[in-house]
């Protein structure tokens, strides 16, 4: 079989063929796990040759990876038309912090969405602040009007669409257009959709960040982050990661690549099951808003329809007349839904979430408490039965 040129193929094919170059896989399907800190050279001339160029895809030193990591990175790059390369990090948070460190310097200002993943916020408010970088927050529904917030010091925008906990869908193309006209670099936390449902670079994003821990790995057993960018920022991103000593183990890269092969079918099932659950919840008398980008309740729903190729399995809903205690009783009564943070796996999860305390540029006005659901790959009928039973319990504890 010849090496694949996945560039022109459909995304479902790309996740199957991506990165599986013959010189990396050998005679087997998956690239083997190459464990190694020391890379051995044939002779001194070969050693000196290695120092001359700093490229991926060649042995140099353990931190620069092996065919196991190169193959995964190449597969992720192929999912983003226009990309120059992908760096891998030991977690999604490392991917976010290292991308920001690659583009910011003391005196700069960064704009972040008010719906940011909380660790992104705390990195900006604590770590970046200490470096003399100012963080300001914007309304996730701001669109092109973000230009009104630009100051001469504004250097970067960190978007997240849909937003964490509350799922507002942002007008990413409009924000990127305004930023690009002002020479501001755009970064997107694309964990919810992945490049499979939202090829970010095509939408104008400079630096696309994914917590691969979630859907790429897909089995709740590996932590990893990935950042894909085009030619303008690639060298800087890569050098910063090298300078900070970022590396992922070949064992983890192997598992992430294995997860990636089934991304298309998993995401489609997560999408179908989560939609079924969201529509069912919307009909329940106990439920207020259903914050699922494919439902009209969700702020930015029209933008989701315009820009996304699909929806994944994570969304929130409001218990209209609930409080903290009855919400806890509801969640505790669920049997198929685990209680935990890290989503994107095959198992369903339920989590109490409270966006109010994470806001500074906007206010979260909704009265009822929110429950965030990760819809896994169990049969949706069983999940619905579980939710129905938990609602019965919820009524029994309501005064």
Ligand X SMILES: *Cc1c(COP(=O)(O)O)cnc(C)c1O
Is 188 buried (19+), middle (13-18) or exposed (0-12) by CB count in 10 A?
buried
- Which positions from 243 through 272 interact with ligand X, judged by CB under 6 A? none
Picking from 6, 196, 17, 185, the residue whose alpha carbon sits closest to that of residue 103 is 185
Cβ(232)–Cβ(206) below 8 Å: yes
Determine the interface stretch with ligand X among 179-187, 211-219, 326-334, 370-378 (rule: CB under 6 A): 211-219
Residue 310 interacting with ligand X (CB under 6 A): no
Distance, in Å, from the CA atom of 271 to the CA atom of 254, rounded to the nearest integer, reads 25
DSSP 163: P
CA 322 to CA 368: how far, in whole Å? 6
Instruction: Give the separation between CA 285 and CA 342, rounded to whole angstroms.
Output: 29
Rg from Cα positions in the chain = 22
Least CB distance to ligand X at residue 153 (A): 25
For ligand X, give the closer residue by CB, 160 or 271.
160
Q: For ligand X, give the closer residue by CB, 220 or 326.
A: 220
Residue nearest to ligand X (CB): 92
* Residues within window 108-167 making contact with ligand X, judged by CB under 6 A: 117, 160, 164
Cα gap 264→287, rounded to integer Å: 31
Give the residue numbers marked as catalytic: 63, 117, 189, 214
Q: How far apart are CA 71 and CA 257, in angstroms?
A: 8
- Which residue number, 68 or 97, has a Cβ lying nearer to ligand X? 97
Residues 11, 31, 140, 225: which binds ligand X (CB under 6 A)?
225
Pairing status of strand 338-339 against strand 85-89: unpaired
Among 211, 237, 255, 303, binds ligand X (CB under 6 A): 211
Q: Of 248 and 390, which CB lies nearer to ligand X in the complex structure?
A: 248
- Asked if 223 interacts with ligand X (CB under 6 A), we say yes
- List the one residue from 342, 353, 377, 378 that touches ligand X (CB under 6 A): 342
The reply to whether 293 sits near ligand X by the rule CB under 6 A is: no
Judged by CB under 6 A, does residue 189 bind ligand X? Answer: yes
Q: State which residue, 14 or 91, has the beta carbon closest to ligand X.
A: 91
CA 74 to chain CA centroid, nearest Å: 18
Q: If you search the block for the tokens 């990661």, which residue do you land on?
A: 241
Q: Which residues bind ligand X (CB under 6 A)?
A: 91-93, 117, 160, 164, 189, 191, 211, 213-214, 223, 225, 342
């Amino acid at each position: 079989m010849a090496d694949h040129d996945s560039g022109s193929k459909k995304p479902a094919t790309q996740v199957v063929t991506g990165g599986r170059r013959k010189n990396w896989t050998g005679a087997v399907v998956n690239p083997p796990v190459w464990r190694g800190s020391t890379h051995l050279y044939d002779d001194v001339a070969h050693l000196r040759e290695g120092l001359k160029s700093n490229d991926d895809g060649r042995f140099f030193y353990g931190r620069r990876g092996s065919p196991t990591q190169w193959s995964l990175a190449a597969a992720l790059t192929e999912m983003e038309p226009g990309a120059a390369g992908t760096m891998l990090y030991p977690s999604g948070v490392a991917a976010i912090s290292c991308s920001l460190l690659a583009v910011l310097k003391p005196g700069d200002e960064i704009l972040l969405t008010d719906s940011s993943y909380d660790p992104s916020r705390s990195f900006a408010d604590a770590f970046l602040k200490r470096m003399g970088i100012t963080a300001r927050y914007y309304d996730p529904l701001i669109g092109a009007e973000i230009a009104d917030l630009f100051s001469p010091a504004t250097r970067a925008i960190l978007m997240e669409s849909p937003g964490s906990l509350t799922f507002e869908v942002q007008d990413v193309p409009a924000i990127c257009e305004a930023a690009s006209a002002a020479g501001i670099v755009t970064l997107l936390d694309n964990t919810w959709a992945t490049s499979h449902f939202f090829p970010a670079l095509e939408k104008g994003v400079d630096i696309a960040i994914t917590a691969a821990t979630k859907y790429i790995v897909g089995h709740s057993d590996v932590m990893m982050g990935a950042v894909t960018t085009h030619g303008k920022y690639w060298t800087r991103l890569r050098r910063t990661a090298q300078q900070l000593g970022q590396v992922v183990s070949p064992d983890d890269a192997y598992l992430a690549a294995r997860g990636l092969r089934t991304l298309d079918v998993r995401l489609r099932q997560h999408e179908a099951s989560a939609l079924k659950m969201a529509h069912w919840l919307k009909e329940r008398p106990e439920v207020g808003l259903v914050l699922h980008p494919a439902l009209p309740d969700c702020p930015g729903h029209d933008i989701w329809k315009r820009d996304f190729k699909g929806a994944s399995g994570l969304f929130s809903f409001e218990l209209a007349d609930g409080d903290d205690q009855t919400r806890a009783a509801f969640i505790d009564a669920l049997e198929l839904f685990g209680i935990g943070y890290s989503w994107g796996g095959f198992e369903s999860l339920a989590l109490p979430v409270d966006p109010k305390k994470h806001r500074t540029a906007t206010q979260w006005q909704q009265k009822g408490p929110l429950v965030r659901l990760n819809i896994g790959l169990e049969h949706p009928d069983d999940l619905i039965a579980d939710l129905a039973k938990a609602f019965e319990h919820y009524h029994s504890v309501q005064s």
